[in-house]
Amino acid sequence: MSSIQTVLLEGPIDFVGQQLADSITFYLVSIAGAIAFLVGIITGDISLTAYTGALLCSAGFVIVVLPWPFYNRHPLKWLAPTTQN
């Protein structure tokens, strides 16, 4: 398997990266909702509001769900396995 397939299937992410993804999700969904609301108020079109919100949330999905390298800047250092006698 190539390294790209391995990264996409395993999705390595550390604890700091998880906290970053959580923060990004919170802010992106909040901003997407506010922008969609403003678009709806300005245009008076509910379908454009829904499409704007869906588009911005889809962009947030791509940013948060894929295992980008900046989510794994602080990898865990595991202990070496010990043998039991």
48 burial via Cβ count (<10 Å: 0-12, 13-18, 19+): middle
Angle at 76 between CA 70 and CA 26, to 5 degrees: 45
pLDDT tens, residue order, the chain (85 aa): 566 666 666 667 788 888 998 999 999 999 999 999 999 999 999 999 999 999 999 999 999 888 888 888 888 887 888 887 6
pTM, full prediction: 0.73
